[in-house]
C-alpha cells in the first residue's frame, strides 16, 4: 500500500494494519480485527453488510464520513468506466481495496528483471511480449474486444431466446439503449416484466403525446396532409391506416376497419370528414388516397364541402395503374405472360432451379419491387441480363439429357428462351418501363419531397421513351395511356405549384419559356384556395414577381449555385424566408410530398 493512498483514505484514521501484507486491520474503537484489507474494514465501520461484523462503538459522525467516502468512490469508478483508455483510470485506492498479486520477479537470460512484479487484475489475462514497448494500448484494445464480444454474445443469445427479428438492432433507439447501459456500468439490474408493461410504458405514452403536440404546433402554423393507406389483412379485413404529414414529418393517427365501407363513397366521405374535423379543417391542405372510384367520388365531395382542402390521388398508385394499362397492350401483355411462364417453370422445379443457378453464377430471375407491376418489370430486366446464360443452359448437354427437355412445358420454355422475338419484346418493354420506374421510385421514396419534381419527372420520362425508339408507332399507344392517367388523376394544381416553387427546375424552364399555361393556372388556383385572405393573395403575387426575376436574395451567386446543388428544402430557409408570404405558400405545397 502506498503512503499517498493511506493518506487519502479516511478509514486509516480509525484502524491499523496488523501485518505487512495489508490483509488484516484492527479497529481503534472496538479492537476487532477485520480480515480482507481496508475495503472490508470500511463496511465494519459503516455496518449493514451481512458479511462483515459492524462496529458497536463507531461514532455516528465517523460512520457517516466513511459512508459518504465509499459512495463517492463508487460514483467516480462508474464514471471512469466510460473513459476511452483503461490506462487513464485514476485508481488511487486500488492497492487498498483489492488484494495485490505479488508474483515472482521474472528474469531474462542476462539475469536482469523485466517490469514490475506487481500486476493488476487485467494483467492476469494477458502476457506482455518480450521486449515490447507501449504494450498497454494493445492490451487495452484486446480487453475492449474481448469485453465487447462477451456483451454481443450475451445480447445475441437473448435475441434468439426471445425470438426477436434480427433487424431490431437497426432501430435508432437500440443505440440509445446500449449507450445508457454502458453509462450505468457493471451490475445493472435488468428491467422487470412489471416495469416494462407498467410505469415505463406509461412514460413512453407520455413521450409520444409530447411528440404529437409538437406535430400539432406545425399543423397549426403550416398546415398538413392526411394520408389514407388501404391494405388487406391476412384475415381478409380491409384496413385503412390514417397518417398526417407536415414539414415536421409523418405521424400515425389511427387504423380503421373499413371492411364494410371501403367500396362505399358515402362512407369514405364520412371517414375523410371525421378525420378532417378531428385535426381541424383550417389546418388540412389535402387528403391523399389511392385512385379507387369510391375515393375519387368521396374526394370530390370533400373539395365541395371544404373550400380550402384538396383531394389528391396517390402518385405512386397512379403510376402503378399506368403499368397495369401498358401490360394489357400487345406486345407487352405477350412478353409479360411468357416471362411469367418461364420463371414459374424454372422456380417450381428444384433440380432445374439449381441447374439455372449454375449457369447464372447463382443469380435469381426474380427482382422484388414495391408493387406487382414494378416486380414484373424488374423481373423482365433480370431475365434480360441473363439472356446469354439462359441460352447456354437450354442448349447444353446437361439440359438435353434432363427430363425437362422432354416435357412439353420444358420445350415451350426452351423455345421462348431461343426466340428472337421474345428478347426484342423484352427490350421494348424495358425501354418503356425503365423511365416510369424511375418516376415511381421518386414518388414512392422518402429522400426528398417529390411534389415539386413530379411534373418534370413525367416530362423527362416521356422524352427518354421517345428517344429510345426511331419509330413513333412503338410508343404512341403508351403515350396515350400515360397522358390519360396524367390528365385524369395526376394533373393537379398542387403539383403545378410545387414546380413553380422548386427553384432547381423553375428558373431553367422559365428562361426557356417552356412552362405551360396550365402550370401557371394551377399555381394561382392554389394561391386562391389555400389563402382565402385577398390581401395575402396580392402579397404572394407581388412577391412572385421578385422570385421570377431572381431579385433580392435570389440573385446572389450562392443562391444561383444552390438551385441545382441543394434540395428545395435546404434553400428555402435562406431565401424564401425573405418573402414571408411566399415562404408560407411553399410550406403549404412543396413540403407535402405525395
Query: pLDDT tens digits for 481-528?
Result: 888 887 776 667 777 777 777 776 776 666 666 666 777 777 777 777
Grid look-up 520477479 returns 105
Give every CB contact of residue 591 below 8 A, 6+ residues apart in sequence: 222, 246, 247, 449, 451, 569
Flag the least confident range among 61-70, 311-320, 509-518. 509-518
- For 543, the grid coordinates are 412577391
- Residue 245 predicted with pLDDT over 50: yes
438-447, 525-534, 562-571: which has the highest mean pLDDT?
Answer: 525-534
d(CA 209, CA 224): 18
Quick one: what percent of the chain has pLDDT higher than 70? 74
Q: What is the pLDDT of residues 453-468, one digit of tens each?
A: 676 778 788 888 888 8
Backbone φ/ψ region at 167: left (φ over 0), alpha (ψ -120 to 50), beta: alpha
The residue extents of the domains of the chain are 10-76, 219-313, 331-369+385-474, 492-591
CB 70 within 8 A of CB 97: no
Flag the least confident range among 139-153, 237-251, 385-399, 481-495. 481-495
Higher-confidence residue: 115 or 278? Answer: 278
- The confidence band for 560, taking pLDDT boundaries of 50, 70 and 90, is low
CATH superfamily, domain 219-313, is eRF1 domain 2 (3.30.420.60)
- The confidence band for 349, taking pLDDT boundaries of 50, 70 and 90, is confident
- In this prediction, residue 552 carries a pLDDT of 63
- For 502, the grid coordinates are 422548386
- In this prediction, residue 82 carries a pLDDT of 47
Q: Which residues pair with 250 in a beta bridge?
A: 245
d(CA 426, CA 331): 9
- In this prediction, residue 157 carries a pLDDT of 92
Q: Kindly write down the DSSP assignment for every residue of 24-53, as one continuous string.
A: EEEETTT--EEES-HHHHHHHHH---TTSP
| Summary mean pLDDT of the chain | 76
d(CA 92, CA 94): 6
Q: Which of 452, 553, 454 lies closest to 503 in space, CA to CA?
A: 452
Higher-confidence residue: 120 or 540? Answer: 540
- The confidence band for 96, taking pLDDT boundaries of 50, 70 and 90, is very low
Grid look-up 388501404 returns 230
- In this prediction, residue 206 carries a pLDDT of 92
Within 10 angstroms of residue 122's Cβ, the number of other Cβ atoms is 13
Average pLDDT on 92-119 reads 42
126-130, 354-358, 544-548, 552-556: which has the highest mean pLDDT?
Answer: 354-358
Flag the least confident range among 112-121, 233-242, 288-297. 112-121
Grid look-up 399543423 returns 219
- Residue 129 predicted with pLDDT over 80: no
Give every CB contact of residue 150 below 8 A, 6+ residues apart in sequence: none
Q: Which residues pair with 313 in a beta bridge?
A: 289
Average pLDDT on 15-29 reads 79
- In this prediction, residue 125 carries a pLDDT of 43
d(CA 112, CA 65): 46
- The model carries a pTM of 0.59
Higher-confidence residue: 82 or 231? Answer: 231
- Residue 83 predicted with pLDDT over 50: no
- Residue 202 predicted with pLDDT over 80: yes
- In this prediction, residue 547 carries a pLDDT of 73
Quick one: what percent of the chain has pLDDT higher than 90? 6
- For 210, the grid coordinates are 409530447
- In this prediction, residue 314 carries a pLDDT of 80
- In this prediction, residue 166 carries a pLDDT of 92
- Residue 347 predicted with pLDDT over 90: no
Q: At what angle do helices 350-359 and 387-394 cross, to 10 degrees?
A: 120
Tell me how far the alpha carbon of residue 281 is from its chain's centroid.
Answer: 31
- In this prediction, residue 110 carries a pLDDT of 44
Flag the least confident range among 215-229, 269-283, 356-370, 392-406. 356-370
Q: What is the pLDDT of residues 207-236, one digit of tens each?
A: 999 999 999 988 888 888 888 888 887 888
Burial of 416 (0-12, 13-18, 19+ CB in 10 A): buried
CB 56 within 8 A of CB 30: yes
Q: Which residues pair with 230 in a beta bridge?
A: 240
Average pLDDT on 196-212 reads 91
- In this prediction, residue 160 carries a pLDDT of 92
Amino acid at each position: 500500500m502506498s503512503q499517498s493512498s493511506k493518506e487519502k483514505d479516511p478509514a486509516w484514521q480509525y484502524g491499523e494494519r496488523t501485518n505487512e501484507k495489508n490483509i488484516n486491520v484492527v479497529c481503534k474503537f472496538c479492537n476487532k480485527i477485520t480480515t480482507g484489507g481496508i475495503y472490508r474494514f470500511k463496511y465494519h465501520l459503516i455496518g449493514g453488510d451481512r458479511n462483515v461484523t459492524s462496529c458497536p462503538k463507531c461514532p455516528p459522525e465517523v460512520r457517516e464520513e466513511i459512508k459518504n467516502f465509499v459512495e463517492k468512490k463508487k460514483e467516480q469508478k462508474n464514471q471512469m468506466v466510460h473513459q476511452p483508455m483503461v490506462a487513464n483510470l485514476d485508481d488511487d485506492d486500488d492497492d487498498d481495496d483489492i488484494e495485490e498479486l505479488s508474483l515472482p520477479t521474472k528474469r531474462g537470460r542476462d539475469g536482469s528483471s523485466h517490469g514490475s512484479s506487481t500486476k493488476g487484475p487485467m494483467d492476469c489475462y494477458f502476457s506482455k511480449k518480450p521486449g515490447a514497448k507501449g504494450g498497454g494500448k494493445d492490451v487495452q484494445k484486446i480487453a475492449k474486444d474481448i469485453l465487447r464480444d462477451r456483451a454481443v454474445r450475451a445480447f445475441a443469445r437473448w435475441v434468439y431466446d426471445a425470438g426477436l427479428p434480427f433487424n431490431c438492432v437497426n432501430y435508432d433507439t437500440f443505440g440509445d439503449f446500449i449507450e445508457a447501459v454502458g453509462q450505468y456500468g457493471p451490475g445493472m439490474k435488468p428491467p422487470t416484466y412489471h416495469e416494462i408493461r407498467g410505469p415505463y410504458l406509461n412514460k413512453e405514452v407520455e413521450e409520444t403525446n409530447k411528440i404529437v403536440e409538437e406535430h400539432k404546433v406545425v399543423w397549426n402554423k403550416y398546415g398538413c396532409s392526411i394520408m389514407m393507406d388501404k391494405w388487406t389483412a391476412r384475415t381478409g379485413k380491409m384496413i385503412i391506416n390514417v397518417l398526417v404529414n407536415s414539414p415536421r414529418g409523418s405521424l400515425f393517427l389511427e387504423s380503421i376497419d373499413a371492411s364494410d365501407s371501403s367500396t362505399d363513397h358515402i362512407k369514405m366521405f364520412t371517414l375523410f370528414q371525421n378525420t378532417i374535423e378531428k385535426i381541424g379543417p383550417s389546418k388540412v391542405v389535402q387528403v391523399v388516397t389511392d385512385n379507387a372510384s369510391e375515393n375519387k367520388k368521396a374526394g370530390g365531395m370533400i373539395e365541395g364541402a371544404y373550400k380550402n382542402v384538396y383531394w389528391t390521388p396517390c402518385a405512386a398508385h397512379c403510376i402503378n395503374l399506368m403499368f397495369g394499362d401498358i401490360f394489357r397492350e400487345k406486345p407487352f401483355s405477350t412478353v409479360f405472360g411468357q416471362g411469367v411462364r418461364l420463371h414459374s417453370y424454372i422456380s417450381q422445379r428444384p433440380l432445374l432451379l439449381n441447374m439455372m443457378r449454375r449457369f447464372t453464377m447463382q443469380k435469381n430471375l426474380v427482382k422484388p419491387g414495391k408493387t406487382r407491376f414494378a416486380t414484373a418489370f424488374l423481373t423482365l430486366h433480370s431475365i434480360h441480363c441473363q439472356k446469354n446464360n439462359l441460352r447456354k443452359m437450354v442448349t447444353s448437354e446437361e439440359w438435353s439429357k434432363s427430363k425437362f427437355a422432354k416435357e412439353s412445358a420444358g420445350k415451350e420454355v426452351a423455345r421462348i428462351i431461343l426466340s428472337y422475338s421474345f428478347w426484342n419484346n423484352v427490350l421494348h418493354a424495358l425501354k418503356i418501363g425503365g423511365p416510369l420506374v424511375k418516376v415511381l421510385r421518386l414518388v414512392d421514396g422518402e429522400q426528398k419531397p417529390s411534389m415539386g419534381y413530379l411534373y418534370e419527372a413525367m416530362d423527362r420520362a416521356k422524352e427518354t421513351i421517345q428517344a429510345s425508339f426511331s419509330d413513333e408507332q412503338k410508343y404512341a399507344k403508351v403515350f396515350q395511356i400515360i397522358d390519360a392517367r396524367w390528365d385524369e388523376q395526376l394533373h393537379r394544381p398542387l403539383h403545378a405549384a410545387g414546380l413553380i416553387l422548386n427553384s432547381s427546375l423553375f428558373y431553367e424552364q422559365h428562361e426557356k419559356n417552356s412552362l405551360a399555361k396550365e402550370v401557371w393556372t394551377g399555381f394561382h388556383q392554389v394561391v386562391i384556395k389555400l389563402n382565402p385572405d385577398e390581401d395575402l393573395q396580392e402579397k404572394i403575387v407581388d412577391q412572385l414577381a421578385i422570385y421570377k426575376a431572381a431579385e433580392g436574395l435570389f440573385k446572389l451567386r450562392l443562391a444561383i449555385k444552390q438551385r441545382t446543388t441543394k434540395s428545395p428544402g435546404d434553400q428555402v430557409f435562406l431565401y424564401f424566408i425573405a418573402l414571408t408570404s411566399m415562404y408560407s405558400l411553399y410550406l403549404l405545397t412543396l413540403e407535402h410530398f405525395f
